[in-house]
Amino acid sequence: MYYSDLVKYYEELEKTTKRLEKVEILSRLLNHTSADKLDSIIYLIRGKVFPDWDERKIGYSSRLILKAISSVTGINQNDVEKLWKKKGDLGSVVEELIKHKKQTTLSSKRLDVDKVINNLRKLSEMEGEGTVSKKVQLVSELISNANPKEAKFVVKTVLNELRVGVKEGIIRDSISRAFNADVKEVENAFNLTADYGEVAKLAKKNKLKSIEMSLGRPTKLMLAILVKDAKEGFEALRRPLQAEPKIDGFRVAVHKDKNNVRLFTRRMEEVTKQFPDIVEIVKEHVKTENCIIDCEAVGIDKKTGKHMAFQKISQRIKRKYDIEKMAKEFPVELNVFDVIYCNGKSLMNETLKERRKILEKIIEERKEKIVLTKKLISDDEKKINEFFKESLKEGNEGLMLKNIDSLYIPGRYVNGWCKLKNVLEPLDLVIIGAEFGDGKRAGWLSSFIVACRDKNKFLECGRVSTGIKEKEGQELTYKEMTKLLKPLIEKEEGKVVHVKPKIIIEVGYEEIQKSPTYSSGYALRFPRVLQIRTEKPLSEINTLSEIERVYKIQRGKR
């Protein structure tokens, strides 16, 4: 397939916000795609070149794109950057510059999908001396052989900024429609493979039912819905329910196949190399030949033996060097709470009650190495509330509440799992910086750096974008925020601006975490703008000490 044919579908998808129209467009594309190219088309339509589970990344920066565009067009890199700032989107920049390019490359060849995906996949494999120039050359080759619209979408794909409104649900429904496959079978196949490219190929051959869970390959994990109290938990899950501490670690799915152990995060990124200590723990203390167990890995304080906050071990997740040293400095305990595969059999269709029985048979507990999560099965609201308080006192985030008859269904769904956490008061924070957006948000400030007060200083405590709307006529828009902030700009660094502290916003969030990223030492998790506080003076925004207080409250401390 020529890349220009795919670009026409990109443009069609961009023009509509209607789900059914997107499904119709995409199903038409899939019908016109040969079986051997279906996976490539699925990846590209999502702005990727690998399936979700694949650990390889393109890893291409905006700076390298500037070099590639300058190389192809002959325009000074600084001038390209100025146009980028004006348009807010490098895809639009390259489209405009290619339109005005005076001389066509003599060796220009018509791009096809294979050429695009092959060049972009090569980017992930490059390391060592001369890598930068080779990476620039690979992308420059694509741009030089592209027409303006093709160049635009190549650049957006390289930068992981392709936004044509195609989410997983639309992919699922499009595969179902294109190949007359049952939607539930398509979704189940994706949950087991984490690869809609493979699912599409199997659906075309009418082989979806042949898919089985595979050891060593990540699957989607089951998620929880937030509830405000135990009463709401009972209403959602029925009585009795199983309560477990909600631990402040990181989710890890452990795949064991004899002596081969692999670890995957909730986002299906492999972290086996970063945690050799977990690998050895599993080999020694998981008493079954093969299994997939769902766990929370949590840092352990070597002096006290108590759990540490997630941030203490988060640096291990991306670590590439000094791994053994880091494992000694920041040891982890594996808290196991579910099993979804054991002895060659999927357990997803077994109840939680049955899965827990199996788990208790195969896990040999060793404190500070591997343990089963504590559990309380009860139909008594008072007992659940007491267990909740106990969990908070131990430094946990709250409770996980589970329907004891629930099957293991990847994703969030009603009547499965709920999470119970302290409802935290919103914060009044001041905007001290922002970043210009891309795509539909080009030309608008769309990501806002917020700060608390510490005496006469303003300390960063996160970035927030959620809660602002794109369309006029809605509560608070990016256009309105940009209009408020532009006169306050004091300094510009590329797309990031520093603004005079004046605009105060009320920010909601799920929790406060310790973070070395921001000058306050704290970060807001899942922040969202609630409203502008025009009536508030700067002297009344939340202080660092107040943020520290909220941090302690959410842990059940005072």
Kindly list the catalytic residues: 246
Q: Which of 310, 211, 317, 255 is CA-nearest to residue 555? A: 310
CB 469 within 8 A of CB 115: no
Token match 């006469």: residue? Answer: 456
Beta bridge partners of 418: 225, 401
Which residues, 6+ apart, have CB-to-CB distance to 79 below 8 Å?
none
Record the tokens describing residue 232, joined without a space.
Answer: 């709401």
220 SS3 class? coil
Phi, psi of 75, deg, nearest 5: -95, 140
Q: What Å distances lie between residue 389 and 392, 474, 506, CA to CA?
A: 5, 40, 28
Taking the alpha carbons at both ends of the chain, their separation in whole angstroms is 63
CB neighbour class for 466 (10 Å; exposed up to 12, middle 13-18, buried from 19): exposed
* Whole-number Å distance between alpha carbons of 400 and 112: 49
* Residue 209, φ and ψ in degrees, nearest 5: -70, -10
- Give residues with Cβ within 8 angstroms of 536, minimum separation 6: 428, 504
Per the CB < 8 A criterion, the answer to whether 453 and 542 are in contact is yes
Tokens of 94: 């390259």
Q: Which whole-number Å values give the CA distances from 477 to 93, 451, 473, in the listed order?
A: 25, 21, 8
Give the Cα separation of 110 and 249 in Å (integer): 50
CA distance linking residue 101 with residue 151, whole number of Å: 12
Rg (CA), the chain: 26
Helix axes 168-179, 196-204, angle to 10 degrees: 10
Gap between the Cα atoms of 123 and 136, Å rounded: 9
At 391, the amino acid letter reads S
Distance CA 213, CA 190 (A): 10
Using CB atoms within 10 Å of the CB of residue 509, give its burial: 0 to 12 exposed, 13 to 18 middle, 19+ buried. buried
Q: Find the DSSP H helices in 108-248.
A: 113-123, 131-144, 148-158, 168-179, 183-193, 196-204, 230-237
